[in-house]
Structure 1
């Protein structure tokens, strides 16, 4: 028996990184998954390997969300869960950030999460209840230089999570947020996008960097975030809603001075 047997879950940004690992773990736990992304070739390949369905989804496009909901219902008959994983990161000082860059990050991270809740929550309620997991960030809980735009959107996701949890509770829809720290995905490790790079070598370099910053002494792995997403999607978390879950190797706990 898998923890998600019989469940239908939509995962955004599922072509690679955290979203891919969430789709893989959910499949292993018995879920039927609609993988979505704008990276269609990669997303379709992952979906095919898993025996699951795929749909193109620009999370900031309301029409794309409507089409994804239709695709999920045509493939599986209903929707029981959503993981709002898709997101982008840009590095810049706030005063140097062009408005277009700021709005693009807001569009994907914040608007995308809002539209996902808006489009999918009624379907989950109609199916008898289920879960929404929003991907926020360590930077939703604190500040960090050079990622102000990203942090602003991730703070906003926590607000959306809390309000949605309150409003949807009577419809038996639980809504929680994950707050990952540094995770070894293409977002924080662009070398993973280089086909000639050795991912183990680049991961080792990141581990060395975070050894000084993170109490657990290394960068996180997307598989670890996927396990948290599984917990928040399955019945193990049946009495939890409206909460942020930090998964950061202890980074938020504070700074070691010795």
Structure 2
């Protein structure tokens, strides 16, 4: 790999699986010093150790825990260069039947988790005059799916919040962007061959992505190569939001 993260201090949340794990591994491979955070302590610590990263158990829905994560990194390393607020939960309950517990958890993790991480990192980065924040949203934030009203809403909120933060932090030398992944074969997808076959079939590009393909988008947004990119939502979804494919049999 390269050295695009050489000498950079990086936090990745939700790092125990899926896109977070792939992002952590890529950042380490690119020379970064990575602190991985996840609510799941045992798998998170083992996965981080295997990748060459430090691990801190963190529930991103807890603002105090996020503040401790960020302040601890700054105390140990003297600064924070990149904050990847990736932790998220997925849910697909129909609107009428959606339980409050599911909605509350999505607010806490998907929306407030991204906000708490952006706020804590933004304070540090604004004071040091530099930094990059990347928040994981979803193409569902701009292309909602039936039966997933609040999940789509939570990701739309992340995109809007991040754009507003980008405007506020730009004069202080801090960039804020979002990555909106499409369908990927992560821990959120049931290991059912027939279901996975369907997922492959509905992607214009012909297959559902591996999380590592999405991680490259986060790497770009976090890197100095994107030093003039802020307030942007980078969609990496194999063409899913580009438009509809042809209807077979239509004239």
Q: Report the TM range for the smaller structure's normalisation.
A: over 0.9
Contact kept, 8 Å, 1:10 with 1:34, in 2: the verdict is: yes
Find 2:209's aligned residue among 196, 199, 220.
220
* Distance verdict in 2 for CA 1:230–1:129, change over 3 Å: same
CA distance in 2, matches of 1:33, 1:205: 37
Pick one of 218, 235, 238 that aligns with 2:227.
238
TM-score by structure 2 length?
A: 0.94
Tell me: CA distance 1:172–1:206, structure 2 relative to 1, closer, same or farther (3 Å). farther
TM-score normalised by length of structure 1: 0.91
Q: Unmatched 5+ residue regions in structure 1?
A: 192-201
CA contact (8 A) 1:180 1:247 kept: yes
Q: Determine if the alignment matches structure 1 residue 174 to structure 2 residue 203.
A: no
Alignment of 1:88 with 2:89, yes or no, is: yes
Matched with 1:149 is 150
Deviation, structure 1 residue 127? 3.1
SS of the residue 1:75 aligns to = helix
Task: Output one character per residue of 1:28-56: Cα deviation in whole Å (capped at 9) or x when no partner.
Answer: 10111110001111111122122321111
Question: 2: CA distance between counterparts of 1:77 and 1:206?
Answer: 47
How far off its partner does 1:75 sit? 3.2
Equivalenced residue count is 246
CA root-mean-square deviation: 1.4
Structure 1 consecutive aligned stretches of length 4 or more whose deviation exceeds 6 Å: none
Q: Does 1:251 align with 2:240?
A: yes
Cα deviation for residue 239 of structure 1 reads 0.9
SS at match of 1:11: strand
- Within a 5 Å distance, the mapping from 1:96-245 to structure 2 comes to 96-187=97-188, 189-191=189-191, 202=192, 205-245=194-234
Three-state SS of the structure 1 residue aligned to 2:96 is helix
